[in-house]
Amino acid sequence: MRKFIFVALVSVGLASCFDSQTAANANDAEKKNKTCNIVNVPVFNQDSAFDYVKKQCDFGPRVPNSASHEKCLGFLAGELSRLGGSVSLQKADLKGYDGTIYKSTNIIAAFYPERNNRIVLFAHWDSRPVSDQEDGTKKTALQKPVMGANDGASGVAVLLEAARNFAAQDPGLGIDIVLFDAEDCGAPHWEQSKVENDWCLGSQFWSNNTGYSLSNKPRLGILLDMVGGPNPSFCIDAVSGYYAPNYAGDFWKVASGLGFGSFFKNVAGGQIVDDHYYVNTIAGIPTFDVIDFDTQRGFPEMWHTQHDDVEHIDRNTLGAVGRVLLRYVYTDCAK
Ligand SMILES: [Zn+2]
């Protein structure tokens, strides 16, 4: 993900954002009369989620075309299958900013695949090939891959731990988990990209090839990205606020109700492009992003540096996001 401005939203989106907000407010007013029955929400195990972060990082940076990437693919596909998902691998050769072809695999796991009432949960499982947010004087560090404990592995870990619960306790709807590849291969800031849309390659491919029919297309999507850092700042970014304002609003309300209002801030999160941009604009599935970014601080300090490692993961953050996610999914208002 990156903080490149989503120009289209700047030019046409502002007025529309106000319209969306008005619609969201009207919808919220309606919902005040609706009771959301909380059915037995399973307990999210943050220690298990932390172990899933560590297991991914034990392979090393999962940079596309590397041996670590290939090994981690086997682990993730095997684990999702073991947890009860119907796993399929969507393979594609995707062209990067400098013409490199990335042998990419989106990992897809369907839970309760026979159900047409579905939602879809996303994260990216690849790691960034360069640490281009390192101090510019550290030339060697700049060229090293990012471990991606937070940037990538944390979202995957929360979804794996959630998956364990989906299989053990019926959420009452179908759930797809899609782990995107090649999200983080965009041009370093010192390079000019030779292709348009050089980030989020896996999600662009998936969005053009979802394989859903009209009847089983998910109603909403949730993307988790950088959900394991200390003192996170989760705000509703412009793309989420434009395409999925009500779903995002409900999610943030659930977070506040669980006492996580200091992590999930009820303010606009600014303009970023992440996988959800392509899911919204190409696949047409209303999708919001839970991402550690705010307009004052930007991305977390460790972002795209050599310090995005397991030592800088806070299991309480994983736990907070996991608890909100399970509460949201298992609340019948989400259906
Ligand atoms: Zn990244």
Render pLDDT for 154-188 as a digit per residue (tens, 0 to 9).
999 999 999 999 989 999 999 999 999 999 999 99
Listed residue (121, 76, 75) closest to 328, CA to CA: 121
CA of 294 to the centre of ligand 1 (A): 15
Hunting for tokens 């390192």 — which residue is that? Answer: 134
Three-state DSSP state, 147: coil
pTM of the model: 0.90
* Order of strands across the sheet that contains 174-180: 86-95, 101-111, 174-180, 118-124, 220-225, 287-291
Q: Is the dihedral of CA 25, 26, 27, 33 positive or negative?
A: positive
132, 97 Cβ separation under 8 angstroms: no
Per CATH, the homologous superfamily of domain 7-32+40-334 is Zn peptidases (3.40.630.10)
Q: What is the pLDDT of residue 332?
A: 56
What is the distance between the alpha carbons of residues 233 and 292, in angstroms, rounded to a whole number? Answer: 5
CA of 35 to the centre of ligand 1 (A): 39
CA of 303 to the centre of ligand 1 (A): 7
CA of 54 to the centre of ligand 1 (A): 18
Q: What is the pLDDT of residue 33?
A: 43
∠ Cα 150 152 158 (to 5°): 80
225 bridge partner residues: 291
CA of 21 to the centre of ligand 1 (A): 29
Q: What is the pLDDT of residue 218?
A: 97
CA of 19 to the centre of ligand 1 (A): 31
CA of 150 to the centre of ligand 1 (A): 9
CA of 236 to the centre of ligand 1 (A): 18
Q: What is the pLDDT of residue 92?
A: 98
Q: What is the pLDDT of residue 12?
A: 36
What is the distance between the alpha carbons of residues 85 and 160, in angstroms, rounded to a whole number? Answer: 10
Listed residue (218, 184, 160) closest to 304, CA to CA: 184
CA of 44 to the centre of ligand 1 (A): 26
CA of 125 to the centre of ligand 1 (A): 10
CA of 229 to the centre of ligand 1 (A): 13
Q: What is the pLDDT of residue 30?
A: 40
Q: What is the pLDDT of residue 22?
A: 38
CA of 225 to the centre of ligand 1 (A): 9
Main-chain dihedrals φ then ψ at residue 317, nearest 5 degrees: -70, -45
Q: Is the dihedral of CA 28, 30, 35, 40 positive or negative?
A: negative
CA of 200 to the centre of ligand 1 (A): 10
Q: What is the pLDDT of residues 13-67, one digit of tens each?
A: 333 333 344 334 444 444 444 455 567 899 999 999 999 999 999 999 999 999 9
Three-state DSSP state, 176: strand
- The domain spans of the chain are 7-32+40-334
122, 180 Cβ separation under 8 angstroms: yes
Q: What is the pLDDT of residue 137?
A: 75
CA of 87 to the centre of ligand 1 (A): 25
Listed residue (206, 216, 220) closest to 275, CA to CA: 206
CA of 179 to the centre of ligand 1 (A): 14
CA of 151 to the centre of ligand 1 (A): 5
For ligand 1, a single-atom ion, the residues with CB < 5 A are 151, 184
What is the distance between the alpha carbons of residues 179 and 183, in angstroms, rounded to a whole number? Answer: 10
**Residue 122 CB burial class (10 angstroms; 0-12, 13-18, ≥19):** buried
CA of 324 to the centre of ligand 1 (A): 23
CA of 228 to the centre of ligand 1 (A): 13
Which residues of the chain have a pLDDT value below 50? 6-34
